[in-house]
Amino acid sequence: MTTTNSLVLALAQINPTVGDLAGNVARIRKTRTEARAGGAHLVVYSELVVAGYPPEDLVLKPAFQRAVREAVEGLARDTADGGPAMLVGAPWADNGKLYNAALLLDGGKIAATRYKHELPNYGVFDEKRVFASGPLPGPVAFRGVRLGVMVCEDMWYPDVAECLVESGAQILVVPNGSPFETDKLDERIGLAVARVSETGLPLVYVNQVGGQDELVFDGASFVLNADRQLAMQMPAFAEAMRIVEWTPDAAEKWRCAPARIDKPPEGAEAIYRALMLGLRDYVNKNRFPGVILGLSGGIDSALTAALAVDALGADRVHAVMMPSPYTSRESLDDAAEVARLLGVRLDTAPIKPAMDAFAAMLAPLFKGANADITEENIQSRARGLTLMALSNKFGHMVVSTGNKSEMSVGYATLYGDMCGGFAVLKDVYKMTVFALCEWRNGNLPAGALGPAGPAMPRRVITKPPTAELKPDQTDEAALGPYAKLDDILHCLVEKEMPAADIAARGHDAAFVARVRRMVDAAEYKRRQAAPGVKITRRAFGRDRRYPITNGFRTES
């Protein structure tokens, strides 16, 4: 029988920083104070919120484990004040094992602990490396209500929810650290609906928000009632706290009163905001004063500049045009116009003196050899050297401007255009670059610090992309049409499709084979690339771990 007639929950999607225990605890306390003012009985936080997620091997340090325990115990003591209880996530050592734990803090103490049962060990996740699997959990009793706590991955399979409903849970509560991917929110809600359908119980889903290295967490926390109806949804890509009120119905089933539903962004807007948040948090959490980038007059650097200005503000973005003898008047004009539209500082550093110096220095060693891609790469590396020198001198982090299409096939120069501390477009295919530029020219994203209106002149989007490292050069002459290239790359990288199946989509079989060879040959470059925001199901990095030294080759 139900022993209380109401329950007020506060859902807190906050932006923790891995390892910043003091900062994370301060954020937790701030939202608890706000929740108290709203009359909340319990504040629910995201997965591992005290430590930040994902903490990776940091959790193996005994000193870190002790510091986390002290932080949690301090938060537990806070709850002796009669204010709301807290459900927090933390790495938790217990009898010689380390768990991914959800801890109920109430009445001045740690009132209950529940350990994550399903540990993800795929894609970017390595939880079996650092955590032990907890037993199938029973519900947590709180103020007369039995809460079924499932930590993140526990919701992706039916076993934990089934165990909880069989042992008397009345509301499913799911703390999460679920990274953004395109179309991921629909998948989350679909799984939540499946658990609600199986159990007949309502479900509370609280997700982290913010950037952590290559991952971006989009928040968008929500509540489903037992009839599978969406009762509340929080904003995406922003910290927020939302109060929801619960009462039992005539059948003593708990139901969440209708609350605000923030419609999440979709398509290009969702990707743009993920990139913007990922860049902002990488720069700010690592305490860089700002960023510097090469502004070439091309589409990739224009989009990178727009993202940087929207993320950080124009005063923290420094652009440098580094023309060579092959740089067109169009490129010079377009770079200047991008800088004007975005309001950023633009300096010019011609690289011809560096090209001449390298040519003179290497002439005795290159005697008798024809000019080739070597001289093109020297141009790229002269630009990379220039940006790194400015970064070293003034402290701004270099943002590289290459995209996923280029990184896939190795159309990038090591220690040249690949120089940088962060590659914001690393997981963005070229056709998506075009779509993002079109979207940004017509929209100002929520939370952006940049100016309203177009971020680049129309010609930047419509002219043929080119590296301008030799006369009459275009990217598509070297790589083929980007629309075809990107479809093949998606099939190879994200889907691991056989070449014959890719050709059956309407692609030339010889071109598919060529692209596959380029992807295989470029692994050593990708291994040395800067980190960048993950937006697809399979980004380069921990999502896709191929050996550099690899003798296996196939055209099938």
Residues 6 or more apart whose CB falls under 8 angstroms from that of 106 comprise: 42, 79, 85, 86, 142
Under a CB-based contact definition with an 8 Å cutoff, are residues 407 and 529 in contact? yes
Q: Which two tokens stand for residue 356?
A: 């001449």
> Which of the residues 30, 34, 73, 116 is marked catalytic?
116
How far is Cα 294 from Cα 309, in angstroms, rounded to an integer? Answer: 14
Q: Is 430 a catalytic residue?
A: no
Q: Is 152 a catalytic residue?
A: yes
Under a CB-based contact definition with an 8 Å cutoff, are residues 511 and 401 in contact? no
Q: Which residues of 431-450 are buried (b: 16+ CB within 10 A; e: fewer)?
A: bbbbbbbeebbeeebeebbb
Q: Is 116 a catalytic residue?
A: yes
> Which of the residues 127, 152, 256, 534 is marked catalytic?
152
Under a CB-based contact definition with an 8 Å cutoff, are residues 350 and 324 in contact? yes
Closest CA to 279 of 532, 450, 478, 513: 532
In the chain, what is the greatest distance between 2 CA atoms, to the nearest angstrom?
92
Q: Which residues lie across from 176 on neighbouring strands?
A: 207
Strand 109-115 versus strand 140-142 pairing type? unpaired
Closest CA to 412 of 448, 375, 376: 376
Q: Which residues lie across from 140 on neighbouring strands?
A: 147
> Which of the residues 47, 127, 214, 269 is marked catalytic?
47
Q: Which residues lie across from 89 on neighbouring strands?
A: 102
Catalytic residue ranges: 47, 116, 152
